Amino acid sequence: MPKVVGEYKARARERIADAAQAVFRARGFRAATMEDIAREVGVSKGAIYLYFRTKTDLLSAIQERSRDQVLAAWSRLLESGDVAEGIADSLEEVFSGKVDPGIWLELVAEAAAHPDVRAALRVDEREDVRAMRSFLRRLEERGRIRPLRDRDTVAEIILALLHGSVLDLMLHGRAASARRSLVRSLRYLLGTGRP
């Protein structure tokens, strides 16, 4: 019996996170309310609070899930494929226009005024760096990239390149150009081919 309850709770959390992600994309993080999310998922606002105390908790859950999805996609790169292209593919929803990159900037602006959002973004950044370091180590072990002198710094640079590509797209509106620049920079940094 407890297994069923656990599975139900996990599915409920996923449904709520899906709804929150849709509402955040449609309305923006600041404008979105827990009532909007409850309406999207088809439950009462009180039911949402059984799983997530705040919008920031929902944001953290979405970030964690997104990171897990990216890492799952990148796991294929451990065996084959162009590593730089594969990393760039993690921004495909942004490059294709499915996700407005302005959401990220809104969160950064929101973090300036709200310590809980700032804390969530810091945790997300730490986890991103940790995940990137681990991924780079695994790529090195498999011989997919050259051995790195300072994996920590390379991990931070890759994440900065990903953020920079989003800004490049926002400022210039040229997805293909932003993607090409990202891939070229990643190849150079990782030593995986002609920049």
My answer on whether 159 and 77 are in the same domain is: yes
Give residue 2's pLDDT: 56
The pLDDT, as a whole number, for residue 4 is 58
Rounded to an integer, the average pLDDT of 125-130 is 96
Q: Is residue 63 located within the same domain as residue 96?
A: yes
Task: Say yes or no: 72 and 159 in one domain.
Answer: yes
- Please say if the pLDDT value at position 192 is more than 90: no
Number of H helices, E strands in the chain: 10, 0
Residue 53, Cβ neighbours under 10 Å: how many? 11
Whole-model pTM: value is: 0.87
Query: In this structure, how many other beta carbons lie within 10 angstroms of the beta carbon of residue 123?
Result: 13
| Three-state DSSP class for residue 195 | coil
pLDDT at 159 over 60: yes
Same domain flag for 10 and 78? no
Q: Does residue 195 belong to any structural domain of this protein? A: no
| Rounded Cα gap, residues 27 and 126, in angstroms | 27
The reported pLDDT for the residue numbered 1 is 47
Listed residues 10, 32, 53: the one ending a domain = 53
Mean pLDDT within 76-102: 90
What integer pLDDT is reported at residue 67 of this predicted model?
92
Does residue 148 have a pLDDT over 70? yes
Structural domain of 48: 1-53
In the chain, the amino acid numbered 117 is V
Query: Are 113 and 29 within one domain?
Result: no
Q: How far is CA 128 from the centre of its chain?
A: 8
pLDDT digits (tens, 9 = 90+) for 20-46: 999 999 999 999 999 999 999 999 999
Pair 128, 178 in one domain: yes
Please tell me the total count of domains within the chain: 2
- 35 and 70 in one domain? no
Tell whether 17 and 100 lie within a shared domain: no
Q: Please name the amino acid found at residue 20.
A: A
The C-alpha atoms of residue 111 and residue 114 are separated, in whole angstroms, by: 5
Residues 108 and 26 in one domain: no
Whether the per-residue pLDDT at 165 is higher than 90: the answer is yes
- Radius of gyration over every alpha carbon of the chain, rounded to an integer in angstroms: 18
Supply the mean pLDDT for the chain.
91
List of long-range contacts for 43-49, beta carbons under 8 Å, 24+ apart = 43/16, 48/16
- Give the amino acid at 23: V
Do 47 and 130 fall within a single domain? no
Q: What is the CATH number of the domain that holds 97?
A: 1.10.357.10
